[in-house]
Structure 1
Amino acid sequence: MINIFRSFNPLNVIWLVVVLFLSRLGYLFHVPDKLEFVFVEPFARLLVPVAYEYAFSPVLNVLIAGVLVFIQALLLNYLINFYNLLGKPTFLPALMYVTLSGLFAPFLMLSAPLICNFLVIWMLFKLFNLYKGDDAKSTSYDLGMIVALGSLIYFPFIYLFLAIWIALVLFKPFNWREWLAGVLGYGTIFFFLAVFYYLNDRLGKFSNIFLPLGTKFPDHISINVKSYLLLIPVILILVLCFFKLQQNFFKSYVQIRKSFQLLFFIFLIAAFSFYVNSAFHLNHFILCIVPAAVFFAYYFLYASKKWFYESLYLLLLISLICFQFNNF
């Protein structure tokens, strides 16, 4: 399977659909009677004055989520090949994204974090362009607006604002105007939201939007045991990827090295921003699969022992399919 996707062949799109179907087939047999889809945060609910939470049947909900994942996988694959992050054209980023997006049941349904992955990919296009781009101020302003838009959909997305400043540190010499431009971009969206609150006589509650940022970081997280079992091959592949990256790190171009550093920081930011939610939801971590898919693709592209990397990927794929067919 890995060898098929190592090459950049348009026919791989067909195989990608097959993997997408297999990684969701088990869940369709155990899909709940109702699946709620919350598109925006409660503080932005007035912007969408229609009842949409149960607009889709459970099966249609999962199918639409699968279509969105497929589109995101192709966009991510185009992004990685466009900036040549892996050194050669390949379909592995798309394969890894589709596989990781089927890791847990909450990943398989429509959710705000899933929608926000479009914004993460959009941000990456602009962030990687900072290295050679001339006008970083306008890019930074646009990125601030993207983060603000993501915050309306899913509030923990606000922490991805840090990725803008990290990218400026990595890619550009310090210029306070570029740093400020991101803040102004973010403030532009929330300024119009404040106007909307004012027009609806709710301006006094506007400051409550940012209260979750003061939430105490939790001491522990309650996750189902089977989730830990599924994470074993994921963690193993990540560790192998970082070893492979370390071996080739100084052989790569400066832009490639800095791009992978940025992806690592985005992974950490997405992972640790879950605490902002009042209730823990596993679907938050779907934000992590964009950078994780790139790391996975890097390892499988440069791994040398075919029997090992093919077996490792099959272990991951078979594990997530088995856990979907069984409720344990």
Structure 2
Amino acid sequence: MIKFFRSGNPLTVLLLLIYTLVVKFFYLLHPSTYLADGSEGLLYKLIVKWLHSFAGDSPLFFTSLAILLILVQSLLFTKIVNHHRLFAKPTYLPAMAYLLFTSMLQSWNVFSPGLLVNLIMLWVVSSITSLYTRTSARDVVFNIGFAIGICGLLYFPSVIFCLLLLVSMLIMRAFRLAEWIIALLGLICPLYLMGTYLFLTNQIALLRMIPNIGFSLPMITDYKVWGAMVACLLFFFLGWLLLQRPLKKMLIQGRKIWAALIVYVAVAVLIPFFGIHFSPAYWVLAVLPVSIFAGNVFWCIPSDAFANIVHLMAFAYVIVMQYFSR
């Protein structure tokens, strides 16, 4: 099966659709509504309220929407990866890895602020990759900052992704103070616009809901969370180690993009600790960039048979956790 995902044939999208139905079927059989644990942002609450107005509390609707978002994100992320030739040939392995690894934990398949933030972060990553080739990047960094600001309205701790932007600017470009200031202005702009809207509509009391942030170091006792995180981090480190040899043959831009993706993983892993209520559901923010390193693991295994065995082990873990565990 890996050889089909390894191929860049557009018909592989049909196989990905079937693959999605297989690895997500359990969640469609046991659907959930949406995540609401108190850490979500004001814009997310407005979106849920709008969806609730015509779908009600239908668990199947919200779970189907979440799975559709995951499938779309996997395809868009793969498009970015192939466009910048981060692998030697076009491949759908990152899409397969994202679909597989998000299936390891039920909370990663629930409609949540994390899934909406991931959708915006795809555009952020695509824009970051263009920083290296721009002579002037003031408009790009403002737009990236603005997008991260919108993420903050969905899930406020995601404003910490501004670290990804600033470090990526150091990686991709020479330091220019003006660009950093413009990036921070872009970050603040959505919060300012939302505050202005609430003030003009006499809903100023809702402003208190925007800076929804805290800090906690919880004791995680759920073995499913440990299993999912260990699997993700294991494939991340393996993908990073296997990247060292092909990295030497890449263009400078490709090396810098991979470096930015490592920063992306590091920041995304830390973000859930800054929520009002810690929830492993927000680690779905890290699964997206981890999927490209997991895809690199399957890409670098020379034997299709061995690659299929590794995939089968991960796939079997997903099925066991879904159907045969409590």
TM-score, normalization: structure 2? 0.90
Assess if the C-alpha contact under 8 Å between 1:241 and 1:295 holds in 2: yes
Question: What is the aligned partner in structure 2 of residue 96 from structure 1?
Answer: 97
Q: 1:292 aligns with which of 290, 293, 296?
A: 290
Write the distance in 1 (CA, Å) between the matches of 2:247 and 2:50.
50
Assess if the C-alpha contact under 8 Å between 1:233 and 1:315 holds in 2: no
Assess if the C-alpha contact under 8 Å between 1:72 and 1:117 holds in 2: yes
Please give the residue correspondences for 1:1-328 in structure 2 after superposition, counting only pairs within 5 Å.
Answer: 1-31=1-31, 35-37=33-35, 41-44=40-43, 50=49, 52-53=51-52, 55-201=56-202, 203=204, 206=207, 209-210=210-211, 212=213, 215-218=214-217, 220-328=218-326
How much does 1:45 deviate? 7.0
Write the distance in 1 (CA, Å) between the matches of 2:170 and 2:125.
15
Assess if the C-alpha contact under 8 Å between 2:63 and 2:109 holds in 1: yes
How much does 1:29 deviate? 3.4
Assess if the C-alpha contact under 8 Å between 1:29 and 1:325 holds in 2: no
How much does 1:273 deviate? 0.9
How much does 1:204 deviate? 7.4
Assess if the C-alpha contact under 8 Å between 1:234 and 1:316 holds in 2: no
Cα-Cα RMSD: 2.5
Assess if the C-alpha contact under 8 Å between 2:93 and 2:295 holds in 1: yes
CA deviations on 1:173-208 (whole Å, 9 max, x unpaired) are 111111111111122212212212323556577477
TM-score, normalization: structure 1? 0.90
Shift of the 30–327 alpha-carbon distance from structure 1 to 2, 3 Å rule, reads: farther
Assess if the C-alpha contact under 8 Å between 2:31 and 2:59 holds in 1: yes
Shift of the 178–60 alpha-carbon distance from structure 1 to 2, 3 Å rule, reads: same
Write the distance in 2 (CA, Å) between the matches of 1:183 and 1:257.
26
How much does 1:102 deviate? 1.4
Q: Which runs of 5+ in 2 are unaligned?
A: none
Assess if the C-alpha contact under 8 Å between 1:233 and 1:312 holds in 2: no
Of residues 285-294 and 223-232 in structure 1, the stretch that sits farther from structure 2 once superposed is 223-232
Shift of the 129–324 alpha-carbon distance from structure 1 to 2, 3 Å rule, reads: same
How much does 1:132 deviate? 0.5
User: Which residue identity is paired with 1:264?
Assistant: I
Shift of the 294–173 alpha-carbon distance from structure 1 to 2, 3 Å rule, reads: same
How much does 1:21 deviate? 0.8
